[in-house]
Amino acid sequence: MKQQKVIISQNIRKALDEAVAACSHDRLLVLVDETTLKACWPLVCQCPSMHDAQLITIGCTDTHKTLDTLSFVWSEMQRLGATRHSLMVNLGGGMVTDLGGFAASTFKRGIAYINIPTTLLSMVDASVGGKTGINFGGLKNEIGVFNNACCVILDTEFLHTMDRENILSGYAEMLKHGLISTKERWSQLVCFAPVTSHITSEMVADNVSVKQHIVTEDPTEHGIRKALNLGHTAGHAFESLALERQPILHGYAVAYGLIVELYLCCVKTGFPTDIMRQTVAFIKENYGRMAITCDDYPRLIELMHHDKKNVGNTINFTLLGHVGDIRIDQTATEDEIKEALDFYREC
């Protein structure tokens, strides 16, 4: 898989023009959703490189990360005359970069694409690392491929377009990166006020560096890249359950998943209780909780069985012995998972 270039931008228009110029192409397509068309496209549409761009607009939110939307994007690419030498720019959050990256990676057996993440979540997680895909059969990211963008342009100017909930959604992934890296980084994150304080480009760059380091070492998730799944086995189950009821933002699901999995860390791998409780308190204060009952446990466990990390009939987790002490391929019994879900409900 080709190396991915990450650009920390202080001038999005200049960075975009340079990135497009570096990718030889015959046609330029820009994928946006209904939200980024209004809030983010005006920030870049006057760039010289965008004058001949052709827009493809899709619905917003994860409910549109589907095969039907993907088919629409492919059809629009055909209609607009895209060839295997065309270039796609994905301007949006994680749904846009995931789906747009998959569309580009499969159209004509693959065309080049650039990601411009416009949400905090997509800046620190979704747009970096080469994962592309869609939800399918009620399951998160069930269909997709690994394929790096030519480059990813990160510019915190877009964060001014975001509401409180979406800032918090992205911050949950930042918190996860702190837990899998160093105690200093974790401490800074749990002592920060993500809603009332300004998230700087330096904070984003530092956080992205955690993921970049891991992805470079294990680009296709056969080993240490599984560290990035901390909070996600339970988190994706929460997210999939919510899709059946009232959808929640991905980062909120990850935050709830962190509570469940940090409890398992304490019980199974000796993670410090004080760090777990401080992290849980931060999550409770900022994210509240998704209401579940004991009756939801069988469905949540069923959804965990669909996690891509699993081998056979076991449910695999990424756990921690301490901040930065990563233990991949850990298992838990259904009774242990139910105990962790009890903790989530009662904490």
Are the beta carbons of 125 and 94 closer than 8 angstroms?
Answer: yes
Phi–psi pair at 103, nearest 5 degrees: -60, -45
Which token pair is 144? 């997709």
What's the confidence (pLDDT) of residue 130?
86
Q: Are residues 154 and 181 in the same domain?
A: no
Listed residues 126, 161, 196: the one ending a domain = 161
Q: Are residues 154 and 169 in the same domain?
A: no
User: Do residues 39 and 89 both lie within one domain?
Assistant: yes
Pair 216, 140 in one domain: no
Identify the pLDDT of residue 1: 59
Assess whether 126 and 194 both reside in one domain.
no
CATH at 233: 1.20.1090.10
The two structure tokens encoding residue 279: 């992290």
The one-letter code for the residue type at 160 is H
Rounded to whole angstroms, the Cα distance separating 158 from 43 reads 9
Q: Tell me, what's the pLDDT at 56?
A: 98
Residues 99 and 198 occupy one common structural domain:
no
Q: Which range of residues forms the domain containing residue 193?
A: 164-346
Cβ neighbours for 137, distance < 8 A, ≥ 6 positions apart: none
- Beta-strand relationship, 28-33 and 87-92: parallel
Per-residue model confidence (pLDDT) at position 271: 98
Per-residue pLDDT, 275:
98
CATH number at residue 51: 3.40.50.1970
CA distances 46 to 13, 56, 114, Å, are 8, 17, 18
Domain match, 13 and 154 both: yes
- pTM exceeds 0.75 for this model: yes
In this structure, the answer to whether residues 125 and 187 fall within a common structural domain is: no
pLDDT at 311: 73
Q: What is the pLDDT of residue 2?
A: 63
- Assess whether 76 and 168 both reside in one domain: no
Residue 13 DSSP code: H
Task: Give the number of other Cβ atoms within 10 Å of residue 73's Cβ.
Answer: 21
Say if residue 151 is in the same domain as residue 171: no
Domains held by the chain: number: 2
Interatomic CA distance for residues 14 and 347, integer angstroms? 48
Spans of the chain below 70 pLDDT: 1-3
Give the amino acid at 320. L
Residues 206 and 292 grouped into a single domain? yes
Final residue before a domain boundary, out of 161, 189, 220: 161
Buried b (16+ CB within 10 A) or exposed e, 91-122: bbbbbbbbbbbbbbbbbeeebbbbbbbbbbbb
Write down the pLDDT at residue 196. 80
Q: Which of 161, 182, 208 is the last residue of a domain?
A: 161
d(CA 154, CA 147): 18
Cβ atoms 96, 36 nearer than 8 A: yes
- Same structural domain, 169 and 155: no
Residue given tokens 């012995």 in the structure block: 321
Q: What are the CB-based long-range contacts (under 8 Å, 24+) for 203-210?
A: 203/174, 204/8, 204/120, 204/123, 204/124, 204/154, 204/156, 205/8, 205/154, 207/124, 207/174, 207/177, 207/178, 208/6, 208/123, 208/124, 208/128, 208/154, 210/177, 210/178, 210/180, 210/181, 210/185
Please tell me the predicted confidence (pLDDT) of residue 3: 65
Token pair of 78 as six digits: 């055909």
Q: Whats the size of the chain, residue-wise?
A: 347
